[in-house]
Amino acid sequence: MTITDFAKEPGYTNSYLADQHAGQLERLRTLERAFDPLSQAVFDQLDLPGKPAILDLGAGAGSLARWLSKRYPNATVTATDIDTRFLTNIPRIRVMTHNAATDDFPAASFDVVHIRALLCHLTEREDILTRAITWVRPGGWLVIEDVSLRPSLIAANPVFRKVAQAGVTLLEQSIGSDMLWADTLPGQLRDRGLSNVGHCTFEGRIGDKSPADAFWAATTAQAGPALLKLKLLTQDDLDAMARLRDDSAFTAAALTFVSAWGRVR
Q: For residues 72 and 48, is the Cβ–Cβ distance under 8 A?
A: yes
| Pairing status of strand 110-116 against strand 93-97 | unpaired
Q: For residues 139 and 264, is the Cβ–Cβ distance under 8 A?
A: yes
Q: For residues 245 and 207, is the Cβ–Cβ distance under 8 A?
A: yes
| Pairing status of strand 136-148 against strand 252-263 | antiparallel
Per-residue pLDDT of the chain (265 residues), as tens digits, is 444 444 455 565 556 665 566 789 999 999 999 999 999 999 999 999 999 999 999 999 999 999 999 999 999 999 999 999 999 999 999 999 999 999 999 999 999 999 999 999 999 999 999 999 999 999 999 999 999 999 999 999 999 999 999 999 999 999 999 999 999 999 999 999 999 999 999 999 999 999 999 999 999 999 999 999 999 999 999 999 999 999 999 999 999 999 999 999 9
- Identity of the amino acid at 75: A
| pLDDT computed for residue 61 by the predictor | 97
| pLDDT computed for residue 6 by the predictor | 46
What separation in angstroms does the CA of 203 have from each of 15, 126, 256, 258? 26, 25, 5, 9
| pLDDT computed for residue 141 by the predictor | 98
Query: What CA–CA distance (Å, rounded) separates 165 from 172?
Result: 10
27 burial via Cβ count (<10 Å: 0-12, 13-18, 19+): buried
DSSP state of 144: E
Q: Tell me the whole-structure pTM to 2 decimals.
A: 0.93
Residue-wise burial string across 235-262, b where 16 or more C-beta atoms lie within 10 A, e elsewhere:
eebbebbeebbeeeeeebbbbbbbbbbb
Structural domains in the chain?
Answer: 18-264 (3.40.50.150)
DSSP helix/strand/coil, 257: strand
What separation in angstroms does the CA of 114 have from each of 36, 64, 102? 13, 10, 17
Q: For residues 174 and 252, is the Cβ–Cβ distance under 8 A?
A: no
| pLDDT computed for residue 7 by the predictor | 47
| pLDDT computed for residue 23 by the predictor | 86
Query: What CA–CA distance (Å, rounded) separates 20 from 14?
Result: 9
